[in-house]
Amino acid sequence: MAFIGVALSIFIIYRVYVWLQSSPRSFMKDQIPFNKVIIPHPSIDILEDEGYEVVGGKLKIPLSFNVNGAQMYSRLFIDYVATKEEGSLYLVILSRPRKPLDFTGSGLRDTLLPYLLIYPECSGVLYVNVATASIHVIKLGKDDGESN
């Protein structure tokens, strides 16, 4: 009987360990790739002044599309990965003079939705405008259907 009790205890401890490893926090850290090379940029100072910690450098996300049998390729770029509090990871996108972000619903959707769909576990996107030293925190929400 003692042997069965010890075996059952070991099994329960093992299952709790597996469950904790698959919790959303550990899952998030496994899903968003991290580039340990962080290239210095003025945007890092702006992020740190606002309480963010940059934990990852530039990422290139390769995309592949099959259109009528023809393979097409593209990629998305993430400038940094940052965190503010335990368990929150933000994708950082820097403003570009030749490609400004249109702060309308459709502009945000067209520009940022791919990032938020590829990494739904992230806390949001930080859009950093270095020229104005501003950070826009953008999180994906769901429309309740009541807005016009």
C-alpha angle with apex 125: 123 to 129, nearest 5 degrees?
145
The tens-digit pLDDT sequence of the chain (148 residues) is 888 888 888 888 777 777 665 554 444 444 677 778 888 899 999 999 999 999 989 999 898 999 999 999 999 999 999 998 877 889 999 999 898 889 898 999 899 989 888 888 888 999 999 999 999 999 887 666 655 5
Closest CA to 130 of 100, 98, 95: 95
58 with 40: CB under 8 angstroms? Answer: no
